[in-house]
Amino acid sequence: MRDYEKYIRYRTFPTPWCPGCGDGVILKSIAMAFAELNLDPDDIVVIAGIGCSGRMPTYFNTNTLHTTHGRALTFATGIKLAKPEKLVVVISGDGDATAIGGNHLIHAARRNIGIKMILINNGIYGMTGGQVSPLTPPSFFTETTPYGNIEPHFNVRKLLTAAEATFVARETVNRLMQLKQVIKKSFQHKGFSVVEVMSNCHVNLGRRNKMKSPLVMTKYIRDITMNMPEFEKLSPAEQASKYPLGIFVQNTERLEYTDLYYNHIVPTAQQAGAKGEK
Amino acid sequence: MSQRKVLQGNIIVAKAALAAGCDFFAGYPITPSSEIAQYMSKEMPKMERTFIQMEDEIASLGACIGASLAGRKTLTATSGPGFSLMQEHVGMAVIAEVPVVIVNVMRGGPSTGMPTKPAQADLMQARWGTHGDHPIIALYPAFSDEIFSETVRAFNLAEKYWNPVILLLDEVLGKAHMDVEIPEPGSYEVYWEKTHEIKDLNIYDRNLGENPPRIDFFHGYPIHIDSLEHDAHGWPSFDAKTVDKMQKLRMQKIYQNLDDIIKYKEYFMDDAEVMVFSFGISARSALAAVKTAREQGIKAGLFQALTIWPFPRAALQERFKKTKKVLTVEMNMGQMKYEVERIAPCDVEKQTLLRANGMPFAPAEVLDAIKEFAK
């Protein structure tokens, strides 16, 4: 047994994911990050919303919670506040995190509550059969954009940076070792962290856009992504259709929310209470 | 020593929740419930308990369920529109069997309606608001002492039966200052079952009618909690037999323990010829009206439901053996009257006094209705 396997709940296999899906790579990279940090499985809780990503917690041999669509961050907020010392991981898809759960995403970032979010961006609603999501690239064909997508997609990096997130990163399923490394770094970060993972849905996005096989789709992901220094050399017009990779924001100065609550608000309130202030 | 105080209804709820051991509150401001959140934000940090104002009501109940799964006693407070937003998570708490108390200080609706006016508007929303078949417990105090005792009982029932419990309150009762007896700690039951040691994933495994054991994260054995229909291990399952069993387990933990859950009060009911069936603010007017009717020689009585869900069916049916006239008084266009009609035998005459214009019934109005009906 390899060291990361103790974090995998094999009794619940097989997974519901299509052959070639990037979710398996992400599952493994998260388990490897747990193993490298040598965490007790009972000190971890993995939470997800609805969708293909929503089924991922069931395969971790940690505490796991499958919640409602888009709201995983709210449950995570409750758990983190109740047990600040635990590692609270949220796994979310692009529709889950940026459409129905968009409000919770920006507020978790604003609060800087120590939740570790893995945002799987496959650019489509996969579980429901391939409808357009806020991260579907423009002009792509989906089940609900049969004549092409006319909406621009969210730039998650800029969205979260504007919401004052203290750790923002992007990786792809093509680079397992880098992905594991970035996830591990996000777990070590104290505040709210988001690792956006570019993943392939060749079945529900690729198939309708001339990228039917996992290989073609992962090659496409390779072609549209590049490390930040390379990305910065591009003209703004070229940048529009490309995705930089790496850690974009890593702010360790801002205090984490539960830290502020229990180490600042609680003593302040207790002093006020002792003085008899109303 | 118990303390006699003049307090706002919302503050009585907050004090009672803290007395019941509530150590986590997540909420979102909404008239007429905001005082509960305000009081909690001030008092909870002093006690090293947790308060957070979330970004909306959906998030508030989500945070409560999460905290509950991490071992906390949780509360959220809202009003009709916010309660509507919470409904998906009410279902989540039901299927995952998570205790949580939701206070709904009801106001005039639908939509933004009349935020500063009372209405007994969400009785059916409390029962059927969330989708799918589900059991629910809803308590509805009317008098100041009941606001305290029913709030404590809401936490006890949530903890005992691992189900969301809804505490309904009227806008006027939430906002009004009233004379209240705050009982001494220790003089009332506070139910708190310690988490069972978890040795396997079979967290939902139990016999029909049994109370579920408390299930928490972080107790030495990693567990899985799911919003999908699941088997005794919490693992997703759509197998018809398994689903049947799990649905029955969830329903029967409530319906086999009705004696423990259902509470009501009867006033002058022993020889009553006209029964007034009411609850909340309307029951207060009804009680005054019934007393006056008695003074005038009319044999009227009041049946005040404190638990409205599950509906106090058996107790009412017992009364219908002798009392053949029932007057349902409620501040809405007719909600609980259908429950009464559903269970009352054919030989019982049914009458209603309904209104939803933001004005509570005056005792004289209820008295007139009793007199008219008694003729």
**Domain map (residue ranges) of chain B:** 3-182, 266-374
A3-252 belongs to CATH 3.40.50.720: no
Q: What would the pLDDT profile of A31-53 be if each residue is shown by its tens digit?
A: 999 999 999 999 999 999 999 99
Yes or no, beta carbons of B71 and A83 under 8 Å apart: yes
Q: Does A75 touch chain B (CB under 8 A)?
A: yes
ipTM of the complex: 0.96
Report the chain A residue with the minimal C-alpha distance to residue B228.
Answer: A66
pLDDT at B196: 64
Residue B195: pLDDT band (50, 70, 90) is low
Assign domain B3-182 to a CATH class.
alpha beta
Quote the CA–CA distance of A153 and A174 in Å, as a whole number: 22
| Confidence tier at B335 by pLDDT (50, 70, 90) | very high
Q: List the single residue in A57, A68, A262 with the smallest CB-CB distance to B89.
A: A68
Per-residue pLDDT at A276 exceeds 70: no
Residue A278 is predicted with a pLDDT of 52
- Maximum Cα–Cα distance across chain B: 68
- Number of residues written out for chain B: 375
- Distances B357 to A179, B113, B124 between C-alpha atoms, Å: 60, 10, 18
pLDDT in tens, B342-356: 999 999 999 999 999
**Contact criterion met (CB < 8 Å) for B71 and A261:** no
Closest chain A residue to B43 measured between Cα atoms? A269
pLDDT tens digits, one per residue of A72-115: 999 999 999 999 999 999 999 999 999 999 999 999 999 999 99
Q: Which residues contact A219 (CB under 8 A, 6 or more apart)?
A: none
Choose the CATH number for B266-374 among 3.40.50.920, 3.40.640.10, 3.40.50.720, 1.10.10.10.
3.40.50.920
- CA separation, residue B284 to residues A6, A116, B305 (Å): 61, 51, 12
Cβ <8 Å between A78 and B228: no
| A161: amino acid identity, one letter | T
The structure tokens listed for B263 are 């509470």
- Interface A-B: count of C-beta contacts within 8 A: 140
Interface contact flag, A78 B26, Cβ < 8 Å: yes
Chain A residues close to B67, C-beta within 8 Å: 78-79, 81-82
Question: Residue B301, class by beta-carbon neighbours within 10 Å (0-12 exposed, 13-18 middle, 19+ buried)?
Answer: buried
Mean pLDDT of A7-21: 93
Can B3-182 and B266-374 be said to share one CATH topology? yes
Domain positions in chain A are: 3-252
Q: Which residues of A touch B40 (CB under 8 A)?
A: none
Burial of B206 (0-12, 13-18, 19+ CB in 10 A): middle
Binary contact (A78, B62; C-beta < 8 A)? yes
User: Which residues of B fall within a CB distance of 8 Å from A262?
Assistant: 48
Q: Give contacts of B59 with chain A, Cβ < 8 Å.
A: 71, 73-74, 77, 103-104, 107
pTM confidence score:
0.97
> Residue B193 — pLDDT band, cuts 50, 70, 90?
confident
